[in-house]
Amino acid sequence: MSGIALAIWLGDKRFKAATANGKSVVSEVAIMAVPFGIIGGRIYHVITSPDAYFGSGGHPLDAFKIWEGGLGIWGAISLGAVAALYRYRQLARKIELPPFAIFLDALAPGVLLAQAIGRFGNWFNIELFGRPLNAPWALEIPLHYRPIGYEGFKTFHPTFLYEAIWCSLLALVLIKLGDRLKVGQIFSTYIFFYCVGRLGIESIRIDTAHTFVGLRVNIWVSIVIGCAAGMKLLSQSRKLQ
């Protein structure tokens, strides 16, 4: 929730600066987009981790226990963006608003910072860490939280920290260099480079996950979405030449 609050505040500030009249509808759009984003994130998590809820020993009703953790960023962005577009178009019928791409560009850095904050939930829940690691920044994991086969290791990669740092750095770069990009490119850049970072992070995670052709599902999703974002960036560059 603190991440969402930061994303709304920063998005509101950036959207006002990007519009000629200095008006913002970020908070009004967020009223619809945030709940749908949370629902979308939960749906994605349940779909990609069905055994925890519908497998042996699982409890289907636990799928509704969102306070216990489990939100998939791709589901949150997808359903949240659809809800945001719907609400934005509703408001555009009443007041003059710039293209929706400008709205997404304004929100992108704040969403990244919200993701960075949200990742610390993995630390509180002692989950989603990476392979064993012997380094000053390694994360010590209690025995009963270690996956089967890793009981003999005490410290692991703090993958939540890697993603939080990556998202924060990317947000700062977009804020700093955003003026050099054209309409729509900030959001496309956010998606593309987030996928690049996510690929590396997913490759060292050891939590249980479904795989396809030997790779974690989230790796495939990052590849597909990253390629789509890359092609969108190329398309945007050609249109602006």
**3-state SS class at 93:** coil
Residue 173: inside a domain, yes or no?
yes
Residue 3: inside a domain, yes or no?
no
Residue 16: inside a domain, yes or no?
no
**For residues 117 and 104, what is the distance between their CA atoms, to the nearest angstrom?**
20
**For residues 178 and 105, what is the distance between their CA atoms, to the nearest angstrom?**
9
Residue 43: inside a domain, yes or no?
no
Q: How many domains does the chain have?
A: 1
Is the alpha carbon torsion for 210, 213, 216, 220 positive or negative? negative
How many other β-carbons are positioned within 10 Å of the β-carbon of residue 113? Answer: 21
191-231 pLDDT per residue, tens: 999 999 999 999 999 887 778 888 888 899 999 999 999 99
User: What is the average pLDDT across 127-142?
Assistant: 93
| pLDDT at position 7 over 90 | yes
- What is the extent of the structural domain holding 138? 100-239
**For residues 180 and 169, what is the distance between their CA atoms, to the nearest angstrom?**
17
Residue 149: inside a domain, yes or no?
yes
pLDDT of residue 74: 84
User: What is the average pLDDT across 60-67?
Assistant: 77
Contact 75/44 with Cβ under 8 angstroms? yes
User: What is the average pLDDT across 61-81?
Assistant: 81
Residue 151: inside a domain, yes or no?
yes
| pLDDT at position 73 over 70 | yes
Residue 20: inside a domain, yes or no?
no
Instruction: State the chain's mean pLDDT as an integer.
Output: 89
Burial of 60 (0-12, 13-18, 19+ CB in 10 A): exposed
Contact 85/120 with Cβ under 8 angstroms? no
Residue 48: inside a domain, yes or no?
no
148-168 pLDDT per residue, tens: 999 999 999 999 999 999 999
* Banded model confidence at residue 67, pLDDT cuts 50, 70, 90: confident
* Banded model confidence at residue 240, pLDDT cuts 50, 70, 90: low
pLDDT of residue 241: 52
More confident residue, 235 or 113: 113
How many other β-carbons are positioned within 10 Å of the β-carbon of residue 21? Answer: 10
